[in-house]
A and B are shown apart, each in its own frame.
Chain A
Amino acid sequence: MSTVSSNARGPVRGRSSLWESHTFRGALVGLIPLGLLAGAVVLTLVITVLARQLVAASGFFAQQQAALITLIAGLVVAIVVYAVALWSIVRRVAAWRHDGEQAQASAVLWALCATALVVIVPVLLALLLPQHPAP
């Protein structure tokens, strides 16, 4: 009895862990665009600070221009990188669905859902957080 049950649990555990690993992998893949976006934004901010300091001696207008160009270019690059990553992952989801890897595909979609929420968090925080009342 115990042998049978032990034999029965073996494949169940194997499948379960396989399913979990697919789900985990899918979730990780789904979070790639968010990671890239966060990395690009951080990099943009760092380069903006550096650009501002590099041209500080040239005066305010040069400094403002350098910071603005860096910031806007960086944000555009961040959005492009994010969009390309999303497009590539959506294609991968379609391929997984075609191959019957539903768990992985679902996990990716849920991770993308979470990504959308994280991306909108700054606006939500600005909307919801109380500001300091002026005395």
Chain B
Amino acid sequence: MSPRTSPPVASIPPIANKSTKAGRGFRRLVAALLTLSVVLTGSYAAISIYIATQLVYPPQVPLYATPASLGLQYKDVTFPSREDHLQLQGWFIPGVLPNDGLTAERTIIVVHGNQANRADKSVGLLKLSGAFARRGFAVLAFDVRGNGESPPAPRSFGYFEQRDVLGAVDFLRAGTLPYPELGRPRVIAGWGLSMGGSALILAAGHEPAISAIVADSTAADYLPILEREVPKGDHLPALFTPGVLLAARAIYGMDFSAVRPVDVVAQLAPRPLFFIQGGADTFVPPANMSVLAAASQSVPNAHVQTWLVPGATHSQAYNTQPQEYVNRVIAFYTAALGPDTGAT
């Protein structure tokens, strides 16, 4: 028989042809590989899905006090978020003029940080809102979705929460305000802490009515922080993080890779921006402020201020230097928004 008549040697080696034993061995190897791959990938998917559900919804923290505890007038407000219409709970605190009159002319939307609420005791948020009000700025402080008294929702570090900020702007411009005699705000500004700063910056990218922003302890990009924190929080190897983020996207529709304030800040010019950062912050390290400031200043008409607070850990700049904090922030808002016409 000529060699030409036998089938040519092909790219697929006919292992099963060599001997029954070898063929059986190969079949077992393939079966083992198939089982191993399904078990590993299935377990990976199951663990990722479980962690994703834990990551996005921590327990909501109840409020510990109201502005009345500071001797301030305020009213409870409810307004819908933009797009998905979640009913958010908040306080409207009118600004107090030097003659003790009330004003809503310059209103600051206060956006708290992750897993907190509009009063957040650990960072002194209620006191800070009170300080703004006493210096003549009305405050709209509200619980971001999934926090405080607002409806349960997945936390997304600004991806969904920006809709809440936009809802607050809509409320101030067109909602039923609790002090109708004060009229609507002439100007709206924002103050955001950590995740709140991120939500505020992302929202301001869609909403020019936000005239000035103070972002305290805000990350330039949240994905690297999640990639660092998810394994720490769940005591799992870092290889689960991509699976968790993917599962969060499948289950909740959130895209953490889109939470990049650094991509938005340059668009906000010429609106004034003030970045504050704790010098001892290890959760959002100070380099984030430098990155945000550099990105903001990449356009010619930018107005950017920064303040690195020595010794302050994450979100603790106000608690570290309360008086200096209020003075700097009020000076920024006054320069950015102008004086209250009722006070002059």
Contact = CB atoms under 8 A, between A and B. Distances in A.
Interface of A is mostly: helix
A105 interface: yes
A8 B41 contact: no
B12 A133 contact: no
Nearest to A109: B30
Given A71-B250, A97-B23, A133-B224, A79 B49 contact: no
A72 B49 contact: yes
Contact of A15 (B7, B33, B151, B239): B7
A134 B224 contact: yes
A68 interface: yes
A84 interface: no
Interface string A23-36: 10001000000000
Contact of A127 (B14, B30, B153, B239): B239
Interface of B is mostly: helix
A95 interface: no
A105 B26 CA distance: 11
B17 interface: yes
A126 B240 contact: yes
Interface of A: 8-9, 11-12, 15-16, 19-20, 23, 27, 45, 48-49, 52, 56, 59-61, 63-64, 67-68, 71-72, 75, 79, 82-83, 86, 90, 93, 97, 102-103, 105-107, 109-110, 112-113, 115-117, 119-120, 122-123, 125-127, 129, 131-135
Task: Report the 3 A-B pairs with minimum CB-CB distance, sorted nearest first.
Answer: A116-B33, A134-B224, A120-B37
